[in-house]
Amino acid sequence: MTIPAPSSTTVDLSKWEIVIGLEVHAELATATKLFSAAPQLFGAAPNTNIDPLTLGLPGSLPVLNEQAVELAIRVGLALNCTVQRSVFARKNYFYPDLPKDYQISQYDQPIDIDGWLELPSGKHVGIERAHLEEDTGKSTHAGDTGRLQGASSSLVDYNRAGVPLLEIVSRPDLRDADQARAYVSELRSILVAVGASDGKMEEGSMRVDCNVSVRPQGSDTLGTRCEIKNVNSLRSLGRAVDYEAARQVDLIEGGGTVRQETRHWNENDGRTHTLRVKEEADDYRYFTDPDLVPCDPGDEWIERVRAELPVLPAARRARLVGATGGGGEGVAIVVERGLDGLVLAAIEAGADAGRALTHAEHNLSDERSAELDPSAFAKLVGMEIDGKLSATQAKTVLATLVAEGGDPAEVAAAAGFEAMDTSELEGIVDGLIEANPAEWARFCGGDQKVTGFFVGQVMRATKGQADGKVVTQLLNARKG
């Protein structure tokens, strides 16, 4: 792989291995904040979802949100983690959007440790830990750039301050941009499946920090990493990884060394820029928060949550593979869209499995598709398999069923998709063979290209109502 480098030459990455570890912050879908009853609601007017605790007013005391713990347990179990007794610490630093001057976060005793998730490719990615912490408020810098430098004033909105976050930290197991994207998208599906988050990256419900290092192929020691902030979409994540790896290789091959630092991804120039040289963790003066007792959910709670977990995306993919014999990307797409239940129900109702899966992959991208009636879907697939509808006609009928519902036979009839009688079709084929002896001789001689000629003629004669596959079958049968 070659990628444009900072020096505008290209960097050859073939002798290098990219190593990526991701820290994903997911806002938990609770009704209220992590330590108070202030509501959490995206898009509310500034400084309306607040209370004394959110503002860090003296005398206010935190009370742990049970729903946030429940969601953290769900995610932990879904990620094959051990769920353990955890402790809240204060991470001390000053920032205008952090009114208490410290963030409450789990530090050396997080709630979830040591898990993994499986990518659609089958690769396992280790999960180091997932810990609960509170979100900060949001600063807005008034000015042309939106950055602090050069701003005429800054505004702060505390609505987000105290919103529960689960920070999910992967092991450095990812090896390229595609894997990094697949990891985030799988994690998002899992968070959504267990009801922990709405997974909306565009609303900041999921935020990704991306650690990247490079090392010579074959080496088993880790290179120095940079942590990239502000990757707000899967596309940015891929671009940031590629750019950053090329930057590091370029630096090392030029005789330099990578400095451990935090960098900022700039979507506009497609580059990462130094934000700050990585602070030592000690600078935060972590200590156990004296206002909170340890959080120990205990076996009974954990086992109750485990028993209630829904079927997770990896298992749903496996189930769909089992039911359809299909595999790979199609199955992953269908599960990602949440259409696996529809396909399974349609198969149950008698639909051809392969055909149902193909439709779900290619012709059901409409958001309303999940509400499609499985028996109507099955009936449509049946009409297609029986040759009553061509593939193109089936696709059209399907779009109508998704948009308006109804019965496939009636929709097909209303669209003028009359069932083609096979004997009628045979007559047309025979007529064409007789009228085009030269083409027919070529076809019989094995010239595949004339198949298209005959199919095209049949389509013209039937105004597109014939099924191309059936015509080809008839031609081959005539050839003997």
Contact residues: Mg ion, CB under 5 A: 23
CB of 136 to ligand ADP, least distance (A): 16
C-beta of 23 vs 97, nearer to Mg ion: 23
The one among 131, 160, 225, 229 contacting ligand ADP by CB under 6 A: 225
Alpha-carbon distances of 178 from 233, 234, 236, 240, 241, rounded to whole Å: 13, 10, 12, 12, 10
Rounded CA-CA distance 215/227 in Å is 16
Contact region with ligand ADP (CB under 6 A), list: 2-10, 14-22, 76-84, 194-202: 14-22
For the CB of residue 210, give the shortest distance to ligand ADP in the complex, in Å.
9
- Say which entry of ligand ADP, Mg ion, none residue 159 contacts (CB below 5 to 8 A, set by partner kind): none
Which residues in 16-45 contact ligand ADP (CB under 6 A)?
A: 19-23
By beta-carbon proximity to Mg ion, the closer residue of 155 and 287 is: 287
The minimum distance between CB 278 and ligand ADP, in angstroms, equals: 7
Does position 211 interact with ligand ADP (CB under 6 A)? The reply is yes
**Helices and strands: H and E segment counts in the chain:** 15, 16
Q: Which does 37 bind (CB under 5 to 8 A by kind): Mg ion, ligand ADP, none?
A: none
CA distance 87 to 277: 28
Residue 411, Ramachandran bin (φ over 0: left; ψ between -120 and 50: alpha; else beta):
alpha
The helix/strand/coil state of 283 is helix
Least distance between ligand ADP and beta carbon 213 (Å): 3
Q: Where are the beta strands (DSSP E) in 201-269?
A: 206-216, 226-231, 261-266
Residue 390 as a binder of ligand ADP (CB under 6 A): the answer is no
230 binds, among Mg ion, ligand ADP, none (CB under 5 to 8 A by kind): none
Q: Which stretch binds ligand ADP (CB under 6 A): 149-157, 210-218, 305-313, 385-393?
A: 210-218
- Nearest Cα to Cα of residue 84 among 117, 110, 66: 110
Which DSSP letter does residue 68 get? Answer: H
User: Quick one: 141 or 278, whose CB is closer to Mg ion?
Assistant: 278
Cα gap 295→131, rounded to integer Å: 12
Q: DSSP letters along 388-455, please?
A: SS-HHHHHHHHHHHHHH---HHHHHHHTT-PPPPHHHHHHHHHHHHHH-HHHHHHHHTT-THHHHHHH
Is 169 an interacting residue with respect to ligand ADP (CB under 6 A)?
yes
Interaction between residue 213 and ligand ADP (CB under 6 A): yes
Q: Which is nearer to Mg ion, 23 or 261 (CB)?
A: 23
395 and 369 in contact (C-beta within 8 Å)? no
Report phi then psi at 91, rounded to 5: -105, 110
Say whether residue 172 binds ligand ADP (CB under 6 A).
yes
Q: How far is the CB of 116 from ligand ADP (least distance, A)?
A: 13
Q: How far is the CB of 57 from Mg ion (least distance, A)?
A: 28
Instruction: List Cβ neighbours of 95 (8 Å cut-off, separation of 6 or more).
Output: 136
Point out the residue whose Cβ comes nearest to ligand ADP: 21
In the complex with ligand ADP, the residue whose CB is nearer, 91 or 379, is 91
Q: Is 315 helix (H, G, I), strand (E, B) or coil?
A: helix
CB of 3 to Mg ion, least distance (A): 26
170 lies in the binding site for ligand ADP (CB under 6 A): yes
Q: Quote the least distance from Cβ 317 to Mg ion, whole Å.
A: 30
Q: Do 132 and 69 form a contact (C-beta atoms < 8 A)?
A: yes
Please state the closest distance from residue 170 (CB atom) to ligand ADP, in A.
5
Residues 275-314 vs ligand ADP: string with x where CB under 6 A? ----------------------------------------
Residue with the two structure tokens 């998704």: 402
* Total of residues contacting ligand ADP (CB under 6 A): 16
Report the C-alpha gap between 198 and 204 in whole angstroms: 10
What residue ranges bind ligand ADP (CB under 6 A)?
19-23, 169-172, 211-213, 222-223, 225, 227
